[in-house]
Structure 1
Amino acid sequence: MGLKEDVELGVKGVLLPEWAARDGQVVPEASDIALGNGAVRLDSTYLYADMADSTGLAQGHTDWAAAKIIRCYLNAASRIIRARGGHIRSFDGDRVMGIFVGGSKNTSAVKAAMNISWAVSKVINPALKEKWNLKWQMDHGVGIDTGSAMLVRGGIYGENDIVSVGKAPNVAAKLSEIRGGKTINISAAVYDQMAAEVKISKESNMWTEMGTQAYGGTLVKYLGSSYSWQP
């Protein structure tokens, strides 16, 4: 069989079977979802933590230094997401995605975001300055949204991973890319469902209404904050 026929057969194999979808209560591993037509629907909150200006970092520093700096961010963010009850299912360059489920999923995700901001300013940047006396300062953005998502496996046998499909993962990813405003951006749906402990600090609201963003023809109201929280 040639490559042309192999690709055509693969596309037919994806399109022909009906989805065998089930509702989930926990974040699945890739092995929990059938590769052919398996899917898990999950009511969940998605967090994307995205290190800023990795392009400038790569252009202004050696590859080995840039790699260590990116790894510092991913290491700290991953530890925090996991400690706050999140499940890590994707890395993309200098970005990590966490999925939170359960009754306190929005509060837990926002706590994780504030912890990551603390780690960047109080742990990573001081450590980088001490080691290399860098003029470059690490910055980042976190985006969070909540809702129903469908988790499937993308790829082929031996080379596949979980793909999250739905508004929540897409919006969270887009909110993490916003620069020039607040460090953490969350949808209004997340704000409405999170606990007061991550809304109010010393009788002041930690969040500012930032307006709306259009994603796929849908207007998403979001709020921003630059507060950090030491674990």
Structure 2
Amino acid sequence: MTLKDDVTKGVNDVLAASWKTENATVVPETEDVALANGAKLLDATYLYADMADSTGLAQGYDSPAVAQVMRAYLNAATRILNAQGGKIRSFDGDRVMAIFIGNAKNTDAATAGLKLNRVLDEIINPALKKKWPSFKWVMTHGVGIDTGQAMIVRGGVRGHNDLVSIGRAPNIAAKLSEVRGGKRINITSAVYSKLNAGAKIGDNGNDMWTKMGTTTYGSNQVTYYGSSWRKGL
């Protein structure tokens, strides 16, 4: 079989398969989803955390330093997301994605973002300055959060595949993590409306979230709220 024949057969097999869809009550692992045509439906909140200005970092410093900085961010984000109940299902360069489920999924995700804000300001950036006193680059990030039903499938071929989340929530969360120039965390109105007081109201009694407006992603009109507030660990 030529490579063309192999690719053609693979595409046709994927398009011919009928989905075997199941409702999920836990965040699936890769092996929980059949490669050929398995799918899990999950009511979940998606969080993407994306270290900002990695291009400026990479162009201004040598690779070993850049790698340490990126690993520091991903290490800290992973610990915060895990501690807040998130299930990490994707790393992409300097970005990490976590899935939250349960009655408090929106509050848990927002709280994770607020805690990560504090980690950047009080742990990571001081540590970078201590290690490299002449370091000019300052770490910041974008966090995007949305909630809704997602379809989780496996993409790729046998031996080379991973989970892929399909739906508005993962797509919009990823887009909101790329917003720059405003607040560090951006959440949809659907997430904001489900926050408990601890994730919505600051110690001074003020709302930690500001309505940022409405934007369009594809066919979706998305109203979102932003915050650069911080929560203690």
Instruction: Using structure 1 for the length normalisation, give the TM-score.
Output: 0.99
1:113 aligns with 2:113: yes
What letter is aligned with 1:95? R
Whole-Å separation in 1 of the counterparts to 2:13 and 2:119 = 45
- 2:151 aligns with 150
Q: 1:218 offset after TM fit, Å?
A: 1.2
Whole-Å separation in 1 of the counterparts to 2:146 and 2:160 = 28
> Is the partner of 1:34 in helix, strand or coil?
coil
What letter is aligned with 2:192? Y
Residues 112-141 of structure 1: per-residue CA shift (max 9 Å, x gap): 001111111110000000001211100101
For structure 1, the residue ranges without an aligned partner over 5 or more in a row are none
1:220 aligns with 2:203: no
Whole-Å separation in 2 of the counterparts to 1:54 and 1:203 = 35
Give 1:115-134 correspondences, 5 Å limit.
115-133=115-133, 134=135
Whole-Å separation in 1 of the counterparts to 2:226 and 2:17 = 42
Whole-Å separation in 2 of the counterparts to 1:209 and 1:110 = 15
What letter is aligned with 1:6? D
What letter is aligned with 2:80? I
Residues 147-198 of structure 1: per-residue CA shift (max 9 Å, x gap): 0000000000000000000000000000010001001000000000111111
What RMSD, in angstroms, separates the aligned Cα atoms of the two structures?
0.5
Whole-Å separation in 1 of the counterparts to 2:137 and 2:17 = 51
- 2:160 aligns with 159
Give 1:46-85 correspondences, 5 Å limit.
46-85=46-85
What letter is aligned with 2:190? A
- 2:192 aligns with 191
What letter is aligned with 1:194? L
Give 1:24-43 correspondences, 5 Å limit.
24-43=24-43
For structure 2, the residue ranges without an aligned partner over 5 or more in a row are none
- 1:88 aligns with 88
Report how many aligned residue pairs link the two structures: 231
Instruction: Using structure 2 for the length normalisation, give the TM-score.
Output: 0.98
What letter is aligned with 1:204? N
Whole-Å separation in 1 of the counterparts to 2:85 and 2:191 = 16
- 1:205 aligns with 207
Q: Give identity over the alignment, percent.
A: 58
